[in-house]
Structure 1
Amino acid sequence: MTTRILFVCLGNICRSPTAHGVFDHMARAAGQPVEVDSAGTGGWHVGDPPDRRAQAEAAKRGYDLSQLRARQAQPQDFADFDLILAMDRSNLAALERMRPEGNDTPVRLFLEYSDSLQEEVPDPYYEGGFDLVLDLIEDASRGLLRDLSR
């Protein structure tokens, strides 16, 4: 059975497309049947590619994010995905506000799957730290794969 997973951050140009690309790459390599997408709770960057800094850092580790394009999360996503993973509590709260009444799709923080003590993936857009973001996302992706294979 194919698991459908949506990764969500604020603008869908840094953290969530990185998670999308990394997890999709790892899942394919592991033979895990998944459908992956990413979205932002805000719509400022709809149609834009991932931030050039996120793409550059991902490329250093063998991940190609160049074909991804930002989109905004929608209530329909709760019906279309089996699991929705937010990068931080702010986006988790925004997703919960958008949740259709009666829907029980799990919405969790992505780093719940990580071995890190950190609970949120920091937003590197203004402060930098794209390498740390990638470290956290790779770790959580490995944990999510372990969880799905059980």
Structure 2
Amino acid sequence: MAEGLFRASAGEGLTVGSAGVAAAPGSPLSRETAAILKERGIELSGFAARMVDEEILAGASHVFCMTRNHLDMLERMYPEHQDKFHLVCDFAEIRGEVGRDVPDPIERGMDAYRDVAACLDEAIAGIRRFLASQAGAGNS
């Protein structure tokens, strides 16, 4: 879901991808995620889950982790990339989500998926501001 939402708001010049620390490689979007994206007019055809690896991290300028546990795992597994890792909710500015995990909506119904999408919307807006400030700092 995060990849689809971020792609839809990223605009030109940003490459967006996703990978998991416990993904089932090749798995399609969940039915609920596809429905949420469809409600918003977002198409993520051809999506297939993949595991994070060295090649993905080496090519990334930033890695946004859904949970503190994911971030901690990546820091242990790939310490050479730890300066790239960020917690998604550190960029959310409402709902008291800063510093918290993005909740996992699996098996909690469509309302839980909608709540996660709203949380991600807020975080993505903050991430976009962060990335713009990073790009501006790089041009100075």
Task: Indicate whether the TM-score tops 0.5.
Answer: yes
Q: What is the alpha-carbon distance in structure 2 between the residues aligned to residue 149 and residue 108 of structure 1? A: 16
Deviation for aligned residue 1:105: 3.7
SS in 2 for 1:34: coil
Q: Which has the higher helix share?
A: 2
Q: Deviations over 1:4-52 (max 9, x none)?
A: xxxxxxxxxxxxxx11111111112xx4x11111011014x21111101
Answering whether residue 23 of structure 2 is matched by residue 40 of structure 1, we say no
Deviation at 1:86, TM superposition (A): 0.6
Find the aligned partners of 2:82 and 2:56 in 1 and give their Cα distance: 12
Which entry has the higher C-alpha Rg, 1 or 2?
2
Q: Comparing both chains, which one has the higher relative contact order based on Cα–Cα distances under 8 Å and sequence gaps of 6 or more? A: 1
Change (3 A) 1:109 1:42: same
Residue 143 of structure 1 corresponds to 126
* Paired residues of 1:50 and 1:66 also in contact (CA < 8 A): no
- What is the count of residue pairs matched by the alignment? 128
Give the alignment of 1:29-108 within 5 angstroms: 31=12, 33-43=13-23, 45-100=24-79, 102-108=80-86
Is there any run of 5+ residues in structure 2 with no aligned partner, and where?
134-140
SS for the counterpart of 1:64 is coil
What whole-Å deviation, never above 9, does each CA across 1:42-95 have from its counterpart, x for those lacking one?
14x211111010110121112223321100011233211011111011111111
Moved over 6 A (4+): none
Distance of 1:103 and 1:145 partners within structure 2:
21
Q: Secondary structure at the match of 1:108?
A: strand
Which blocks of at least 5 consecutive residues in structure 1 are unaligned?
Answer: 1-17
User: Greater share of strand residues, 1 or 2?
Assistant: 1
| Cα distance, 1:122–1:103 mapped onto 2, change above 3 Å | closer
Cα-Cα RMSD: 1.6
8 A contact 2:63–2:85 mirrored in 1: yes
Identify the residue that residue 9 of structure 2 maps to in structure 1: 26
Partner of 2:138: none
Is 1:126 matched with 2:102?
Answer: no
Alpha carbons of 1:20 and 1:26: their partners in 2 closer, same or farther (altered >3 Å)?
A: same
Give identity over the alignment, percent: 30
C-alpha distance in structure 2 between counterparts of 1:127 and 1:90, whole Å: 20
Q: What TM-score do the two structures reach when normalised by structure 1?
A: 0.78
